[in-house]
Amino acid sequence: MNQVKRPENGYQSRIRANVIRLFRWNGAWGAATALMAFGPKLLWNRTLVFTLLAVGLDVAVGVGMILANKNYLAELDELQRKVQLNSMGITLGVAVVAGVPFSVMDAYHVIPFHADIAYLLILMSLTFAVSNLYGTRRYR
Amino acid sequence: MFGPTGVGKKLRGMFCGSEGEPGRVLGSSLAGAVDVSRQTIYAIEVGKFDPILPLAFGTGRPFALRIEEIFHDEDLVKSTAILNQ
């Protein structure tokens, strides 16, 4: 069955542009973080000045990503913003509730591995994705 | 009889197509007119979401309706009904 593709309205095209911008900033931040994490060992043999430059670049790109996210949220309509707010609230709660015991378990050697920040980032990403999907479907 | 979140039949009726199915074309036109997503208009239409004032005013504008002709204070309706019993 053929579906007629409806033209985007101004809101949708604006949000699409913001999502693409946010996606680019996220990609740039991921690349800058990878450079900061692996560069000292693989690229410049732990030269301090290059490491500091990589840290500065990562922070600068991170600020750009935060601003892009802020602009994206500001452009959303109130329902979409509500969904995002709920997702962020759940993500923050899960990060605190799971992060502190995880750190304590590492401190007392309850877990056989180091409580790396990457685990928390993965948990936060998954929590945000699931709660955002749930919130979006809830209003369909 | 009004919807669970205060949207009256009048607004829902305006979204209905000529065949009696949900009028997404009208809904999408309204979304464009008030500068929100189609999902937001649909959520208002089916009573899942109550908009704040600027969007509520904007929703009635294309139909030349006042806000109280579209949205109803259900708590007031219920409490009035209880008082009248």
pTM (predicted TM-score): 0.79
Q: Would you call A85 an interface residue with chain B, using a CB distance cutoff of 8 Å?
A: no
Q: For residue B77, what pLDDT is reported?
A: 73
- Taking CA atoms, B32 is separated from A19, A22, A66, B29, in Å, by 19, 23, 28, 5
Asked whether the beta carbons of residue B52 and residue A78 sit closer than 8 angstroms, the reply is: yes
CA atoms within 13 A on the CB side of A28: 17
pLDDT tier, B26 (very low <50, low <70, confident <90, very high otherwise): low
Q: Would you call A13 an interface residue with chain B, using a CB distance cutoff of 8 Å?
A: no
B39-78 tens-digit pLDDT: 898 888 888 888 889 898 888 888 788 888 888 777 777 7
pLDDT tier, B33 (very low <50, low <70, confident <90, very high otherwise): confident
A26, containing H or E segment:
helix A10-42
Asked whether the beta carbons of residue B55 and residue A77 sit closer than 8 angstroms, the reply is: yes
- Taking CA atoms, A92 is separated from A25, A86, A96, A99, in Å, by 22, 10, 6, 10
Which residues, given as ranges, of chain A have pLDDT below 70?
1-7
Tokens of A6: 């409806």
pLDDT tier, B7 (very low <50, low <70, confident <90, very high otherwise): low
